[in-house]
Amino acid sequence: MTASADEKWTGAVADVLDPRPVRASRTSVDGYVWSVVTETMDFDGMLAERDILVHPGAVAVIALDEQERVLLIRQYRHPVGHQLFEPPAGLMDKPGEPPWQTAARELAEEAGYRADQWDVLVDVYLTPGGSSEAIRIYLARGLTPLEAGRVLTGEAEEQHLPRVFVSLDDARDLVLSGAIGGGSSVAGILAAHASRAQGWTSLRPYDTAWAARDALESLGRVRHLHRP
C-alpha cells in the first residue's frame, strides 16, 4: 500500500469541524465523571470502531501576580501516580455556568485568590485521539488573596493543595526541562510566555465564544454532570 497523491495539504492551516457518520454507538462505561462510548464510524466507506472518553470539559487559570509570577498548586493525580504542579483548574460541572465564572470559582477554591482582570489565553484539546476533553485556559491578573483563605471543597487529594509563585521565565524553563509536565501547565505557561513577548496582544476577551466546546456540544460529546 502506498500513500495517496493528495497528502500534501495546500489549504488553510486551521482546525475545522468535519465529523464522519456514525453507524452504531454503545456506551461501554458510564462513570462518575466521564463515560466511554464505542462508535462505529464510516470513514469514506471504511467502517472502524473507536472508543471515545466523553468528558465534561474543563478550565484552567494562569494567574500572574504583580511581579508576573505564575501561581501553581501541588496536587496528587492518581491516574499517573504523581504529585504535579499545575495551575488552578476544574471541570465544567455546573449547568449554565459560563466558563470564566468556573475559572474564577476554581481560583478561589484551589488557591484562595480572586482576580480583577480576566482574558482567554489559549484553548486546547488535551488528548483528541481518545478523549473529547476541551480545556480553556485563562490569564488572570490583579490578584487579591481572599480574607478567609481558599474555599475548601472536594475530598482526598483536593484537601491539601500547597501553592507556590514561580517567575514566568522560570516556569517556562521548568516545562522545557521536563520538571513540569501536566497538560494545562505546559500549554498555559508556554502560551503566557509567548503572549507576554508579544505585549499580550494575543489575548482574547474573557467572554469570547468557545468554538471547540460548541462543536463538541453539537456532536453530543460533552458529559453533563448536573451537579448543584
Mean pLDDT (whole number) for 170-193? 97
pTM reported for the whole predicted model: 0.93
pLDDT on residue 154: 63
Class at the top of the CATH hierarchy for domain 58-209? alpha beta
- Determine the pLDDT at residue 7: 83
Mean pLDDT, to the nearest integer, of 164-192?
Answer: 97
Question: How far is residue 10 from each of residues 5, 6, 14, 15, 75, measured CA to CA in Å?
Answer: 13, 9, 12, 14, 44
Summarised one tens digit per residue, pLDDT across range 90-139 is 999 888 899 999 999 999 999 999 999 999 999 999 999 999 999 999 99
Mean pLDDT across the stretch 16-23?
92
The cell 467572554 sits on which residue?
207
Kindly report, residue by residue over 7-16, the tens digit of the pLDDT. 888 899 999 9
Least confident of 99-103, 123-127, 208-212, 222-226: 222-226
Which band of pLDDT confidence, cut at 50, 70 and 90, is reported for residue 149? confident
Between residues 202 and 152, the one the model is more confident about:
202
What is the reported pLDDT for 33?
87
Average pLDDT over residues 212-226: 90
Tell me the domain boundaries of the chain: 22-54, 58-209
> Mind telling me the catalytic residues?
158
- In tens, the pLDDT along 29-55 reads 888 888 999 999 999 889 999 999 999
pLDDT at 121: 98
pLDDT at 209 over 90: yes
% of the chain beyond a pLDDT of 70: 94
